[in-house]
Amino acid sequence: MSAPDYGHAFGLMRAAAGQPWRDYTRHAFVEGIKDGSLPHDAFLHYLRQDYVFLIHFARAWALAVVKGQTHAEMLAAVGTVNALVAEEMQLHIGVCEAAGISKDALFATPERPENLAYTRFVLETGYSGDLADLLAALAPCVMGYGEIGTRLAAEATSDRYRDWIDTYAGAEYQAACKAAGELMDQALTRRIGADFEASPRWERLCRTFCTATELEVGFWQMGLTP
Ligand SMILES: Cc1ncc(C[n+]2csc(CCO)c2C)c(N)n1
């Protein structure tokens, strides 16, 4: 099965990331979700860390509003901020409560260093760069889960984590990945030119994408060690 198409820039950055991209999207944690062998303790620990992750991830998308140069760019970024803050963070609280993690316990979650390293890398990339740099750091998170969800929906051999898989394999999330891919293609074209992969900036953008991918690998690994 081929991976879903999330745009031109994403396809090139994904290919350039090579092995780290496979390490991320086929991590033991992901394979444990696929066959149901992931211990529930590890999943709950991951969910708690992921709530902290979402807070900083929403801040990074808010920075994308700041770095936007057109109404279309601001609209795309502000839509993601709203989806994250008004819906996904709320959804996460509900999922955690259903899994036996109280709101108090969730809000008291100490942030693990692997989590902190990832989100602050994304934020710093945005602070010191433009929207093209920031989107290169955000893309592995958004599109990686889209790719993982699509593959696991086809290959899962257990229903244990079916809700998680369905969230990312679903039409709504897949449309969000395509929209993020279009935003990235347009943002790069606007700032660098249509032939962006031939520009001197391209190598650095690919390096940013690859670093974020490696930090996703670290996040899964952290998930395996509650
Ligand atoms: C470590 C980690 N990486 C990626 C995601 C996926 N994700 C984070 S925010 C969001 C909404 C779109 O921006 C999605 C899909 C996650 N939850 N945790």
Find, among 184, 149, 215, the residue nearest to 77 by Cα: 184
Query: Closest ligand 1 atom to the C-alpha of 220?
Result: 1
Give residue 79 CA to ligand 1 midpoint distance, Å.
Answer: 15
The tens digit of pLDDT for each residue in 41-98 reads: 999 999 999 999 999 999 999 999 999 999 999 999 999 999 999 988 988 899 899 9
Give residue 189 CA to ligand 1 midpoint distance, Å.
Answer: 25
Distance of alpha carbon 201 from alpha carbon 209, whole angstroms: 13
Question: Ligand 1 pocket, 80 CB below 6 A?
Answer: yes
Query: Closest ligand 1 atom to the C-alpha of 88?
Result: 11
Q: How confident is the model at residue 1 (pLDDT cuts 50, 70, 90)?
A: low
Give residue 157 CA to ligand 1 midpoint distance, Å.
Answer: 23
Which SS3 state, helix, strand or coil, does residue 100 take?
coil
Residue-range domains of the chain with CATH: 14-223 (1.20.910.10)
H or E stretch including 13?
Answer: helix 8-17
The tens digit of pLDDT for each residue in 100-140 reads: 999 999 999 999 999 999 999 999 999 999 999 999 999 99
Distance of alpha carbon 186 from alpha carbon 34, whole angstroms: 34
Q: Is the ipTM of this complex over 0.85?
A: yes
Give residue 195 CA to ligand 1 midpoint distance, Å.
Answer: 29
- Which positions ≥6 away from 172 have C-beta within 8 Å? none
The tens digit of pLDDT for each residue in 136-178 reads: 999 999 999 999 999 999 999 999 999 999 999 999 999 999 9
